[in-house]
Amino acid sequence: MANGTLIFKSKTIIAGLNAKTIKGDKREEYATAIMYLAPAKMAGGANLCAMAREAGCDPTHNNGGCLVNSGQAQVFSSINRARIAKTQRYLANRAEFMAELVRDIERFVKWCAKHGVKPAVRLNGTSDIQWEVAHPCERVAATDAEFGDWVGQYASIFEAFPEVQFYDYTKVYKRAYRQLPANYALTLSYSGANERYAEAVTKAAHETGANMAVVYRTKALRDYFVDKVAQYGETCRDVIDGDQTDLRFLDPQRVIVGLYAKGQSAKRDTSGFVVG
């Protein structure tokens, strides 16, 4: 425990839980484990953020509003080195990486049960991988009694863990048109950096009903729009405060999730990814 926070750490995901959690507040019933990988092509090889260049948040191109430049990661290069190493494991052997992820989520589920909270997982903390396709996995019988002897083979991590609520932000707007697993919530991410991208993502939000996150330059600007109606392309909706909680699966439907820029790179962004 550090500073009153219970920490769950593993090779793939990490979570923190306030030890003084207030029972009865729906937002506090969950602990979220997040996986942080190296975004775009930062680790070499495949691009883990397919629309980053179009959306103006590719850290290997313009060092703009990517979350990899916020928080401790912008200060401690060792954090990004660890993310690169993790990503290279994913790129080198996806099946082995998925097995590792399964083991870590198993442990996280048990950790949540121990602390009386529900498990939530964000796989794309700093990436935009389409986990719902081409990522089969299996839960294999353990040699000891830690996880029991249940075995299953699944098309996705979501199917393997129906008891876990998964959620992510995405700029890959075509994902909104898919029939996603019931325990996976996606919030589209707006950017005005590219007119074609802006039109496509707002159209996807309009046609599918998916919520759309908008990053404002300052907290004051974001607060100005909260509880008002804003329009971006074809999408005209109420704006909510998206920083009260990160649990996007608890948001009302058909809203704009208002966020504000964190980190100096995001605050100075002029690509159009950050609004205002």
In this prediction, residues 65-76 reach a mean pLDDT of 52
Q: What is the mean pLDDT of the chain?
A: 86
β-strand 118-122 against 165-170: which pairing, if any?
A: parallel
Which of 17-21, 180-184, 188-192, 263-267 shows the lowest per-residue confidence on average (mean pLDDT)? 17-21
Asked if 174 and 132 count as a contact pair (C-beta separation under 8 A), the reply is no
Asked if 40 and 49 count as a contact pair (C-beta separation under 8 A), the reply is yes
Asked if 31 and 115 count as a contact pair (C-beta separation under 8 A), the reply is yes
pLDDT at res. 73: 47
Which of 60-69, 83-92, 107-116 shows the lowest per-residue confidence on average (mean pLDDT)? 60-69
Specify which of 66-75, 86-95, 149-158, 255-264 reaches the highest per-range mean pLDDT. Answer: 86-95
Q: Count the Cβ atoms, other than its own, within 10 Å of residue 77.
A: 9
pLDDT tens, residue by residue, 205-221: 999 999 999 999 999 99
Q: Which helix (H) or strand (E) holds 78?
A: helix 77-92
Which of 42-46, 94-98, 168-172 shows the lowest per-residue confidence on average (mean pLDDT)? 42-46
The CB-side HSE value for 65 (13 A sphere, CA atoms) comes to 30
Q: What domain range is 127 assigned to?
A: 5-275
Categorize the per-residue pLDDT at 121 as very low, low, confident or very high, splitting at 50, 70 and 90.
Answer: very high
What length is written for the chain? Answer: 276
Overall number of domains in the chain = 1
φ, ψ for residue 226 (rounded to 5)?
-60, 135
Which of 144-158, 185-199, 243-257 shows the lowest per-residue confidence on average (mean pLDDT)? 144-158
| Tokens linked to 268 | 């100075």
What ranges make up the beta strands (E) of 141-273?
A: 152-154, 165-170, 184-189, 212-216, 229-232, 235-241, 256-260
pLDDT at res. 43: 81
pLDDT at res. 212: 98
What span, in angstroms and rounded, lies between the C-alpha atoms of 102 and 158?
Answer: 10
Asked if 269 and 55 count as a contact pair (C-beta separation under 8 A), the reply is no
What span, in angstroms and rounded, lies between the C-alpha atoms of 262 and 213?
Answer: 14
pLDDT at res. 51: 79
| This model's pTM is above 0.85 | yes
Angstrom CA distances, 85 to 12, 157, 273, stand at: 11, 22, 28
Burial class (CB in 10 A: 0-12, 13-18, 19+), 254: middle
Place of tokens 């083979």: 153
What span, in angstroms and rounded, lies between the C-alpha atoms of 37 and 158?
Answer: 19
pLDDT tens, residue by residue, 142-181: 555 555 555 678 999 999 999 999 999 999 999 999 999 9
Q: Count the Cβ atoms, other than its own, within 10 Å of residue 78.
A: 10
